[in-house]
Amino acid sequence: MSTQASPPPMVQAANVSKWFGDLVAVSDVSFSIGAGVTALLGPNGAGKSTLLRMMCGLARPSNGTVTVLGKNPRADVAVLGRIGMAPQQESLLDYLSGREFVELAAQLHQVANPVEAARRAIQTVELDPDDTRRLSTYSKGMRQRIKLAQAVVHDPLVIALDEPLTGLDPRQRREMIQLFHRLGDEGKCVIVSSHVLDEVERFGSRVLVIAQGRLAAEGDFRDIRNLMDDRPLRISIRTDRPRVLATALLESGAISGCRLEGTDCVVVDTTEPAAFRRAVAPMARDRDASLLELRPLDDDLESVFRYLVGQ
Amino acid sequence: MNPHIFRVVVRSQISTGRLLALAGLSGVAILLAFVARVADDPVEVATLSMGTFGTNIFAPFIALALGSAALGNLVEDRTLVYVWLRPVPRYSVATAAFAAVISVVGPIVVAVMTVAAAITGVGDLLVATAVATALAVFAYSGIFLALGLRFKRSLLVGLGYIAIWELLLSRLGDWFARLSVRSYPMSILSDATGVEMRLADRSTLTSYVVPLAVGVAGLIYTSWRLSRTEID
């Protein structure tokens, strides 16, 4: 019988809550994160940044404990040497050049050769290490990348990245996601927050879904995606024959209810979105109805997360 | 003290507005010195000028402008994270910031006021002015470094402190005066020339010790605050 032990978690949260006055930002969240890429998914204001800040020791839990590599990052300054973080805010030390900014991080982490380490980190994020321009002149995408460079310059074991793909173009996003995977494959614990479902799908990894300060779901992204795909949907259909199409959809069982709106619109409820998607186009074709628009009315992240919280 | 943080804070302090304020206040100091030189009683006018302007206005306002910004700007623009999130002891960060403020404010204020004292032609004032302004800079830098970390609108809070506490309440009685930083450097000037000034009746020992203690207290509070504060 194999007795292979699972590796110890690198980041652990136990019954963590955080409140600011009356506002509860994080409520009784527990999880363990090991090596590899883990996505922290949730809508804006869900508590992702607060969780990341507590993991990095920037904020103190109001209740519960957060440990990184077995230490309390709030109390143990030494463990900060094993953590790299790219915060969400755009502001940087604008009077420094990009190289000086990353070198400063390397120096403060007591990297043996800060100049060389900074060059390497800047090249990793596809910026020019010889660029002497001040950070104040950097574009949004460049600022995102230099934040990543300072987060990895000291080769940390735990890397927390708060919405790191914001402002990057598609190619840069692809490159950055590859970088996250490379770091994860090297045994580092990479935690990436995002409010974009499709983005997280491309991380292709373990996901912690945070909604309204709570851990709404946890596990492999595909399982969570399936859960999301199974939720009831309300869809607005614009067609030249709304009554005919609505009747056909009701008879087929693809929808559970409908409401006519105006002369060219019907709003339908379905508990089987996949079956609905398969049925709607052939039915419209068979009944000579032109489909002018199909628009999900509750496909925003908020509603997705509300659904997950209710599950 | 961390030399890398020291360098960054020094660089962050240099701005056109602050340089203009420095140049303007330096010009006033030199002008007052020339006025004192040609006055009927140059010793009295020079002592009053160095005391009222140097330790009551020049030192605190420049220390406020630079001291409150040293860490305060990092808090306000949410970049303190890039200093805080490193394995650097908090007292080392605070000491580096304090040293950066002192090393920018000190030489400028002390040099300008010493030159001004030399222009007055009152020999007794030369060393006393250098020492008094240096002590004032030390104390005010500690206070305003701490204020910068503690309050969001630290410049306004600092202006309020100077105007209400240092310049107004300190006149209400001896106990208030004892809690006013400016009374100590002024006493050094008064001791040196024998010119009596309001508030300047502290003993020689306390005139030296209290400003140093205030500066160190500001530094200790800043270190403590850095280790307790939540970073945005």
> Which of the residue ranges A155-169, A202-216, B195-209 has the most confident prediction, judged by mean pLDDT?
A155-169
Q: CATH: 3.40.50.2300, 3.10.20.30, 3.40.50.300, 3.60.150.10. Which one for A11-225?
A: 3.40.50.300
Residue B118 CA to residue B140 CA, distance in Å, equals 24
Rounded average pLDDT over A132-145? 92
Comma-separated ranges of CATH 3.40.50.300 domains in chain A: 11-225
- Which CATH fold would you assign to the domain A230-310? Alpha-Beta Plaits (3.30.70)
Comma-separated ranges of CATH 3.30.70.260 domains in chain A: 230-310
Choose the closest CB to A87 out of B81, B89, B90. B81
Among A24-38, A123-137, A203-217, B82-96, where is mean pLDDT lowest? A203-217
Interface of A with B (CB under 8 A): 53, 56-60, 77-81, 83, 85, 87, 89, 91-93, 95-96, 101, 104-105, 107-110, 150
Q: What is the 3-state secondary structure (H, E, C) of chain A?
A: CCCCCCCCCCEEEEEEEEEECCEEEEEEEEEEECCEEEEEECCCCCCHHHHHHHHCCCCCCCEEEEEECCECCCCCHHHHHHEEEECCCCCCCCCCEHHHHHHHHHHHCCCCCHHHHHHHHHHHCCCCCCCCCEHHHCCHHHHHHHHHHHHHCCCCCEEEEECCCCCCCHHHHHHHHHHHHHHHHCCCEEEEEECCHHHHHHHCCEEEEEECCEEEEEEEHHHHHHHHHCCCEEEEEEECCHHHHHHHHHHHCCCCEEEEECCCEEEEEECCHHHHHHHHHHHHHHCCCCEEEEEECCCCHHHHHHHHHHC
**Structural domain for B190, as ranges:** 3-228
**Min distance A7 CA to chain B CA atoms (Å):** 26
ipTM: 0.84
Query: Which pLDDT band, with edges at 50, 70 and 90, does A204 fall under?
Result: low
pTM of the model: 0.81
- What does the pLDDT profile of chain B (232 residues) look like in tens digits? 889 999 999 988 888 888 888 888 889 989 998 998 888 888 888 888 888 888 888 899 999 999 999 999 999 899 999 999 999 999 999 999 999 999 999 988 999 999 998 998 888 888 999 999 999 999 999 999 999 999 988 999 999 999 898 888 888 877 888 888 988 999 998 888 888 878 778 888 999 999 999 999 999 999 999 998 888 8
- Taking the Cβ of residue B205 and every Cβ of chain A, the question of whether any pair is shorter than 8 Å is answered with no
Whether residue A184 has pLDDT greater than 60: yes
Report the pLDDT value the prediction gives residue B68, as an integer from 0 to 100. Answer: 93
Among A29-38, A136-145, A273-282, B110-119, where is mean pLDDT lowest? A273-282
Number of domains in chain B: 1
Kindly determine whether residue A108 and residue B232, on different chains, have CB atoms separated by under 8 Å.
no
Kindly determine whether residue B82 and residue A58, on different chains, have CB atoms separated by under 8 Å.
no
Report the pLDDT value the prediction gives residue B82, as an integer from 0 to 100. Answer: 94
Whether residue A1 has pLDDT greater than 60: no
